[in-house]
Structure 1
Amino acid sequence: MATNKLTRFEKARLLGARALQLSMGAKPLVKVSESIDPIDIAALELENKVLPLDVKKNEYNK
């Protein structure tokens, strides 16, 4: 029963981690025409499926 949908906790963790990378100088992987918040850039990357992070899920009930 594998699912590709992220939980709200996974999404928050991914956005936070990527926003930190962006605020520390990482280059955005989407076109950003204006200076916007790193969290907004991370959300755009997630929406466009170019976020350079993965979620590794453990399946306990096999």
Structure 2
Amino acid sequence: MQTQVYTRYERARIIGARALQISMGAPLLVTTSRIDPLEIAIEEFNENVIPIT
């Protein structure tokens, strides 16, 4: 399986969109102790569980 390589702009857009979703009450896709939506979104991105491409 090939992993997608994103530009820094794509990465920022995906993480930003997901952080907004989390801050609006979307369910988390990872188990974490973090409370900051941006940090949670980055963690989800690093684990490749964000359903945004």
TM-score normalised by the shorter chain: which range applies?
Answer: 0.7 to 0.9
Structure with the larger helix share:
2
**Structure 2-normalised TM-score?**
0.86
Unaligned residue ranges in structure 2 (runs of 5+) = none
Rg larger in structure: 1
Tell me the distance in 2 between the aligned counterparts of 1:11 and 1:23.
Answer: 18
Unaligned residue ranges in structure 1 (runs of 5+) = 55-62
Question: Over aligned residue pairs, what C-alpha RMSD do you find?
Answer: 1.5
Q: Which residue of 2 aligns with 1:14?
A: 14
Q: Residues 3-61 of structure 1: CA distance to partner in whole angstroms, max 9, x if unpaired? A: 82100000000011000000000011000224x2101000000111101211xxxxxxx
2:48 matches 1:45: no
Q: How many residue pairs align between the two structures?
A: 51
